[in-house]
Structure 1
Amino acid sequence: MIERVLKGRVVTTSGVIEDGWVAITDGTILAVGTGGAPEAAEIQDFGSAWLLPGAVDGQTHAGSQIGFPGMAPTTKAAVIGGVTTIVDMPYDHPIPVTKASVLQEKIAAIGEHAVCDVALYGTIPTTPDLSDIRGLIDEGVCAFKISSFEAHPDRFPRIDNSATLVLLKALEGTGLPLGLHNEDQEIVAHATKALKEAGKTGAEYHSQSRPPVAELAATSTFLEVAASTEAHAHIVHISVPEGFEMARAYRERGVSATAEMCVHYLLFDADTDMPRLKGLLKVNPPIRPGQTDALWDVLEKGQCSFVSSDHSAWPLERKTSASIFDVAAGMPGLEAMVPAFFTAAAKRKDDVQAAMLTAEYLSDRPARFFGLSGKGRIAPGFDADIAVLSPEHFVYDATANPDGPGWSAYHGMTFSVRPSATFVRGRKVWDGVAVADAAGHGRYVPRRT
């Protein structure tokens, strides 16, 4: 007997199945069809709701503040938003994931705290150790990440070009991407110093303190270093279309070069939203003025790899200083990413096209990018990771999640779809009202080549 059948408008890679159904047993999708559904121990009919593959958020920061127990609130936020797998960054508190032993501790925390599935990045210190790099690869990290900008000397250091080259050479033949936080240290330091000396410390000056040239200079240097190797170079967030054009030009040269879009760059504009939201909207690289339409064009042309949230749930006191330079960078986005992206896409396309874009850029593409076998699609043999989106307008309330930080730049926005249920490997972990008591249901998902 089939354990469970879900009915609704099923979104697959080939199109939307109206009056569709998904049959599930042992956490796996057995069959997908339309019309008369097979018999099952449980049938749930979601009517006109969209059944999308659960989102794979390719950029989250679960452990940046409270360490590995951050897996609990982060994965709860994920399933509230229809995200069934997070790809977590390695810059955890108090130490980053530079060794297999640290990675194993983080994997153990997933087994204890996580509600959804988790894949993991690794990183390196300023002086990389080849045995540590190999140890992380052997333990199944899905990618590595470094930064050209120092946010913290130990936890989030700047990696120079010589160390970057060592890591790129070590990753040749593995298929693992090396992601870069792409900002030039000296340009940012100079611009920030000049603004501070002029007394220009309001939120409206954040973009000027980290100008596009800082982002593009770091991107071009990284890609040129990567061009001397056969490794995969990836930019984890680009805020201006010129960066995506740069990555495309390197691909035409034969370099394995990719770039990622964060959802906030597609929704917010510095001219209109920074004066309103101030430090709540501070991210690095910054939200830019007048770029949203151009970035949507980049996405629609297929020039970005996938879309992520860059979720970082700082406490409110870290986001409300008078000077923008004293505000922590990053914002929570897991709960809002899927409905926000769908809503914005539906304004440019119709609802069917918006559903297809959401499934492609938030599920299928990141799953394939990170080598997460069995994730990202509603198809036989894949994990039964399903997000149910009800076609109803709702106002997002960032205070509704008792385990969240109680704020969000998306707070008060009206979305055209609402995540009303989330299934992780066939288990309903979000019913539209509360997260199930499912700590430890989440699994570590290693990369599969």
Structure 2
Amino acid sequence: MSTVIANGTVVTAEATFSADVRIDGGVISAVGRDLGGPGDTVIDATGRHVLPGGVDVHTHLAMPSFGTETCDDFSTGHLAAAMGGTTSHIDFCIQPHGASLRSALDLWHAKAAGRALIDYGFHVAVTDPRPEVIDEITTLPELGVTSIKLFLAYRGTLQVDDAALFSCLERARDSGVLTMVHAENGDAIEHLMAGAIRRGETAPKYHALTRPPQLESEATGRAAALAEVLGAPLYVVHVSCRGALERIRDVQSRGAPVTAETCTHYLFFTKDDLDRDGFEGAKWVCSPPFREAADHEALWAALRDGSLSIVSTDHCPFQYGTQKVLGRGDFTRIPNGVPGIEERMMVLHHAGVNGGRITLQQFVSLTATAPARRFGLGGVKGSVTVGSDADLVLWDLTRDHTITAATNHGAIDYSLYEGMHVRGVPVTTLRRGEVIVDGGRLIAAPGTGQFLQRRT
């Protein structure tokens, strides 16, 4: 039996047009007029826009960090994602020191087993780059993993040095694997943080002040230069400031294969949010930290001109009441990370499309089509085209919603966007042709999400 989404307005990264979408076996089999037939299941999309389900390529579910673990797992995180119109994501598998990359992946597969509601893939974060581990990068594509991540910050836990970065870039290049980089100068940051603590500067605002934008810009330029020397593809995660954008545009202008993302929250908040009354600013502690209002417009401009091609979330949620408070009296102990997997598409649509900063087609590209193509899922996810998985969202451009933690669906006890009014929300979400959310109700069962074997 086929399913037909009828009478909707289809939106792709290239065009907007009236059409039906026919689904067979979980795959889009036709896009056109009058596609319904006897016996078909018909979903009436009159007055709705039919968008590809969101693809979030930067998440941290059930991840150990700062002596605790992110509060959303592959059950609550996926529920929040589906409610917000995201139908697939790529999570970061963090290599424990002393472990192999394969064993790290086994650990993350176990985290998802029986819980997944949306489809998911993995990046592997290489944190212990022993020679045998660097050799192991060549085996990742056969495991369905075509991207690695390296941290240039968090000295003593996640940070790697330039020699490891260069070696991993080279090996990844030769294996068809994309290297991602967290670009901040971890050595300088550690020095600045230690000095702040000695002076008794312990409040959340000092997290931003000890991670200045110059240290993000420097690390971005350094990683991009090494990638350019090798001709190795590089993807810079969570770009937050104008200086880093300048380094990225510089190498892009010479044809270097460097792409980059920003995250939703960097378009809305500033370092002043870390200086809220009491300890409230801890909710806004993430790395890189928030910058200045002028950086917002620079990021929006980069999304328009393609210097930044993807908007992800870096969803890394820690409860305020039980986890963020671990850093009360010492900002260096505040778990780094903020939530956003449910709000991403709504707030980006409202501020971007309704705000006249991007078009509806650009919105689709930034949240679905471009991330799918960049991370080996082109032709499978992220597009309303024949042959793609029927991961679809029926979007009501006229419906109003006020974001609150109380009405969100993850395990987090706050929202950065508390009280924000948006117009335009997802009302029905389909994953591989199956309705998983309808009218704010969960339809599908946990454990029905599938692992995504990505291509090089």
TM-score (norm 1): 0.91
The whole-number CA distance in structure 1 between the counterparts of 2:249 and 2:410 is 40
Alignment of 1:414-429 (within 5 A): 414-429=421-436
Offset, 1:134: 2.2
- Does structure 1 retain, via aligned residues, the 8 Å contact 2:173–2:232? yes
**Of 395-404 and 272-281, the range deviating more from structure 2:** 272-281
Cα 1:347–1:128, aligned 2, differ >3 Å: closer, same or farther?
A: farther
Listed one character per residue, the Cα deviations across residues 244-275 of structure 1 (whole Å, up to 9, x for unaligned) are 22112112334221221111111222336752
Q: Secondary structure at the match of 2:139?
A: helix
The whole-number CA distance in structure 2 between the counterparts of 1:37 and 1:140 is 35
- Does structure 2 retain, via aligned residues, the 8 Å contact 1:111–1:442? no
1:296 aligns with 2:276: no
The whole-number CA distance in structure 1 between the counterparts of 2:212 and 2:420 is 28
- Does structure 2 retain, via aligned residues, the 8 Å contact 1:90–1:97? no
Alignment of 1:129-168 (within 5 A): 129=132, 130-150=134-154, 153=157, 157-168=158-169
1:389 aligns with 2:387: no
Alignment of 1:314-329 (within 5 A): 314-316=318-320, 317-320=322-325, 321-323=327-329, 324-329=331-336
Residue matched to 1:279? 282
Give the unaligned 5+ runs of structure 1: none
1:368 aligns with 2:373: yes
**Of 76-85 and 130-139, the range deviating more from structure 2:** 130-139
1:194 aligns with 2:195: yes
Alignment of 1:20-419 (within 5 A): 20-34=19-33, 36-39=34-37, 41-65=40-64, 70-91=73-94, 98-107=100-109, 109-124=111-126, 125-129=128-132, 130-150=134-154, 153=157, 157-271=158-272, 274-275=275-276, 278-290=281-293, 291-316=295-320, 317-320=322-325, 321-323=327-329, 324-349=331-356, 354-373=359-378, 374-390=380-396, 391-401=398-408, 403-419=410-426
Offset, 1:67: 8.8
Listed one character per residue, the Cα deviations across residues 120-153 of structure 1 (whole Å, up to 9, x for unaligned) are 1013213242442223232121310010112662
- Does structure 1 retain, via aligned residues, the 8 Å contact 2:116–2:448? yes
Cα 1:289–1:422, aligned 2, differ >3 Å: closer, same or farther?
A: same
Cα 1:349–1:418, aligned 2, differ >3 Å: closer, same or farther?
A: same
The whole-number CA distance in structure 2 between the counterparts of 1:57 and 1:281 is 20
- Does structure 2 retain, via aligned residues, the 8 Å contact 1:128–1:167? no
- Does structure 2 retain, via aligned residues, the 8 Å contact 1:110–1:443? no
The whole-number CA distance in structure 2 between the counterparts of 1:52 and 1:440 is 24
- Does structure 1 retain, via aligned residues, the 8 Å contact 2:180–2:235? yes
Cα 1:91–1:288, aligned 2, differ >3 Å: closer, same or farther?
A: same
Cα 1:22–1:222, aligned 2, differ >3 Å: closer, same or farther?
A: same
Residue matched to 2:11? 11
- Does structure 2 retain, via aligned residues, the 8 Å contact 1:76–1:115? yes
The whole-number CA distance in structure 2 between the counterparts of 1:201 and 1:235 is 30
Give the unaligned 5+ runs of structure 2: none
The whole-number CA distance in structure 2 between the counterparts of 1:90 and 1:213 is 28
The whole-number CA distance in structure 2 between the counterparts of 1:67 and 1:210 is 22
Cα 1:96–1:116, aligned 2, differ >3 Å: closer, same or farther?
A: farther
Listed one character per residue, the Cα deviations across residues 209-237 of structure 1 (whole Å, up to 9, x for unaligned) are 10011111211221222223132122111
**Of 82-91 and 434-443, the range deviating more from structure 2:** 434-443
Q: Percent identity?
A: 28
Offset, 1:421: 1.5
The whole-number CA distance in structure 2 between the counterparts of 1:313 and 1:96 is 26
Q: Secondary structure at the match of 2:290?
A: coil
Aligned length: 441
**Of 278-287 and 129-138, the range deviating more from structure 2:** 129-138
The whole-number CA distance in structure 1 between the counterparts of 2:215 and 2:164 is 20
Letter of the 1:141 counterpart = V
- Does structure 1 retain, via aligned residues, the 8 Å contact 2:120–2:452? yes
Offset, 1:293: 1.2
Cα 1:11–1:250, aligned 2, differ >3 Å: closer, same or farther?
A: same
- Does structure 1 retain, via aligned residues, the 8 Å contact 2:83–2:409? no
Letter of the 1:308 counterpart = S
Q: Secondary structure at the match of 2:148?
A: strand
**Of 161-170 and 203-212, the range deviating more from structure 2:** 203-212
The whole-number CA distance in structure 1 between the counterparts of 2:131 and 2:299 is 35
Listed one character per residue, the Cα deviations across residues 20-68 of structure 1 (whole Å, up to 9, x for unaligned) are 321111110111124x342252211132222210111010001314599
The whole-number CA distance in structure 1 between the counterparts of 2:405 and 2:138 is 41
RMSD over aligned CA atoms reads 2.4
- Does structure 2 retain, via aligned residues, the 8 Å contact 1:265–1:287? yes
The whole-number CA distance in structure 2 between the counterparts of 1:292 and 1:254 is 26
Offset, 1:69: 9.2
Letter of the 1:85 counterpart = S
Cα 1:295–1:98, aligned 2, differ >3 Å: closer, same or farther?
A: farther
- Does structure 2 retain, via aligned residues, the 8 Å contact 1:15–1:356? yes
- Does structure 1 retain, via aligned residues, the 8 Å contact 2:12–2:365? no
Cα 1:433–1:169, aligned 2, differ >3 Å: closer, same or farther?
A: same
The whole-number CA distance in structure 1 between the counterparts of 2:275 and 2:98 is 31
Letter of the 2:16 counterpart = V
TM-score (norm 2): 0.90
Listed one character per residue, the Cα deviations across residues 344-386 of structure 1 (whole Å, up to 9, x for unaligned) are 1124328xx6421220101010000001141110011110001
- Does structure 2 retain, via aligned residues, the 8 Å contact 1:267–1:344? no
Q: Secondary structure at the match of 1:356?
A: helix
Offset, 1:307: 0.7
Letter of the 1:385 counterpart = D
